[in-house]
Amino acid sequence: MGYMLKEFLSAPSIYGCLQCQTHLARRDSVISRTFQGRLGRAYLTETVVNGRLGELEDRLLITGLHTVCNLYCRACGALIGWRYIRAHDKSQGYKEGKYVLEQSRIYAIDGGME
């Protein structure tokens, strides 16, 4: 897929990959902190940078059947969450296109202001 330059966010508080500190999402782009991931708490976010998507798969989650892709950190390859592609239940439709970040895989970086 070619060489991609690492993106850097500028915001007061940023979440980064726990393994390699690569910026992933702005703290203020988090929509909900009460999601359940495979490894514990997880955050629902609008956008993620420096992420790489895995294969499409159908997964049965607490809220129903969804089509998701695994989300990996592009720099170190760590599995950091997933992205909702399709929700089979109409009421879960608001999740489509959004990302879930496992809280145990990320950490907060203070002050990424340029």
Residues in contact with another protein by the rule CB under 8 A: 1-8, 75, 114
Closest CA to 25 of 44, 5, 3: 44
Q: Output the smallest distance, CB 7 to another protein, in A.
A: 7
Structure-block tokens of residue 78:
């760590």
* Contact in structure between 10 and 104 (CB atoms under 8 Å): no
User: What are residue 15's DSSP bridge partners?
Assistant: 25, 108
Q: Output the smallest distance, CB 60 to another protein, in A.
A: 33
Our CB check for another protein shows the closer of 55 and 114 to be: 114
Q: Output the smallest distance, CB 19 to another protein, in A.
A: 14
Our CB check for another protein shows the closer of 7 and 57 to be: 7
Our CB check for another protein shows the closer of 66 and 74 to be: 74
Closest CA to 85 of 61, 110, 107: 61
